[in-house]
Structure 1
Amino acid sequence: MDNQRRGFPKRCQCGEPVVLKTSTTAKNPGRLFHGCPFGRDGNWYHTFKWTDTSMVEEIEDLIEKVENIDGAAMTLQKGVNACESQIDTLAMETRVHLGVVEKEVEEMKMQLRSLKNIVGFVMVMVLFFMCMY
């Protein structure tokens, strides 16, 4: 059977919704089947399918879908793990760079203080020489 006819039938070829029925034959007493409400014995135009066969096909198709979902979930988890690893690396690099920047800022502050002292000393010297001459 092709994939479009796997699982539980929904509609008959005639367009009618398929219904669940119970077999009353001697060969299959009480066995459930899906069939067209207008289908009769020997009329192969209308839909007829045993429910247990449909159920096995549905389960097989669901198993395949679950396996596909499991594969996709594993791929997604690998991607998430890679992202988390990269985030950890970037966080560590950020901390290192922050330490370097803080150290450079402190050095700049010390240089600024020294520059202020030099400018102050030069100003005092200029005033001193202006007063002397």
Structure 2
Amino acid sequence: MKCRCGIPCATRTSWTHENPGRKFVACKNFNHETGQRGYNTFYWVDKEQTDWQRDVINVLVAEKHRVVTELSIVKVRFTCLEHEKKEVI
């Protein structure tokens, strides 16, 4: 499918708090930061989520971010320990 601007549309995934994980089709000129949609070619691919689905997905996304952050901290600590060990030897 092409947008009115002539560019093929793209299928993307929303990760907003209101629509986490929902698929949509939009003009490739769509700017997720400003919300501008090129020639307003936009439609959801899937049906609207229930409040429960939205809440569960948002909790899982937050948990993923927490785990990734903790992993980064552990990697930095491990690197520091390796560096300290090399200095002792």
TM-score, shorter chain, exceeding 0.5? no
Q: Which has the higher contact order (CA 8 A, sep 6+)?
A: 2
Q: TM-score, normalised by structure 2?
A: 0.43
Q: TM-score, normalised by structure 1?
A: 0.30
Q: Greater CA radius of gyration, 1 or 2?
A: 1
